[in-house]
Amino acid sequence: MIRAILFDFNGVIADDETAHVACFCRALHEFGLALSEDEYYGTYLGMDERTCTTLLLTARDGKSDVGLVQQIQDRKAELFRLHPGAQQPELFPGVIEFVQAARPLCRMAIASGGRREQIDRALRGTAIERAMELIVSADDCLIGKPDPAVYLLTLKRLNDVGRSLLRADECLVIEDSKAGIRAARAAGMPVLALATTYPSHELREADCVMPTLVAVDPGELLRRFH
């Protein structure tokens, strides 16, 4: 039985992947690293920026530099703060209604490879902010997807504050990326994939694929995974 829903953020709740990609590619370019949008979407989407930058530096130099990785991350964050699409990013249609309907049915949390400040800014004053029991971000977890660490940490924190312990298989993950799906499955959690970023046929590793959360009944969805 599903007793909790864990949401990825970018590409599931916030429709801001395009702004993130543009700012990340520009920051990399300023530090002499080339990454096209096609390469990002094909290989790195769903990974946190720390992991992605480390892999790019290792491919170029044969090793990574922690200080340089941090500089690139900080520059990307600066560019994103100035990006018009970052001030109050659009939320995907249907997500607020889904969260509101799911709130009485199960516990909910966000498990994201994004920065906490960006998540907080996007959700400030929304029903989603009020509905989430907790948020786990890249600031909390040093290992990014497809490693399961962020989902396992979210489960641990839910169990730290809950009366009744959750098992991994009682947590439904909602993802949009292949790296995120693999992370959830490695954590032992069932996955619903949304085809907001990739076409449906590329998300077949998930247990279930839907186009969006528009008109999705959370009660029916939870029963589907019973």
Just give the CATH number of 4-15+89-224: 3.40.50.1000
CATH 3.40.50.1000 residue spans of the chain: 4-15+89-224
Query: CA 46, CA 185: separation in Å to the nearest integer?
Result: 14
CATH topology of domain 17-86: DNA polymerase; domain 1 (1.10.150)
Pairing outcome for strands 107-111 and 191-194: unpaired
Ramachandran quadrant class, 94 (left: phi over 0; alpha: psi -120 to 50; beta: rest): left
Report the Cα 50 to chain-centroid distance in Å: 14
Query: CA 2, CA 97: separation in Å to the nearest integer?
Result: 19
Query: CA 130, CA 96: separation in Å to the nearest integer?
Result: 11
The pLDDT, as a whole number, for residue 190 is: 99
The pLDDT, as a whole number, for residue 128 is: 98
Query: CA 18, CA 21: separation in Å to the nearest integer?
Result: 5
The pLDDT, as a whole number, for residue 180 is: 96
Query: Nearest Cα to 107, choosing from 177, 176, 155?
Result: 155
The pLDDT, as a whole number, for residue 86 is: 67
CATH 1.10.150.240 residue spans of the chain: 17-86
Cα distances from 112 to residues 9, 59, 119, 151, in angstroms, run: 6, 25, 9, 9
The pLDDT, as a whole number, for residue 167 is: 98
The pLDDT, as a whole number, for residue 152 is: 99
Taking only the tens place, the pLDDT of each residue in 97-139 is: 999 999 999 999 999 998 899 899 899 999 999 999 999 999 9
Ramachandran quadrant class, 2 (left: phi over 0; alpha: psi -120 to 50; beta: rest): beta
Straight-line distance from the first to the last Cα atom of the chain, in angstroms, rounded to the nearest whole number: 5
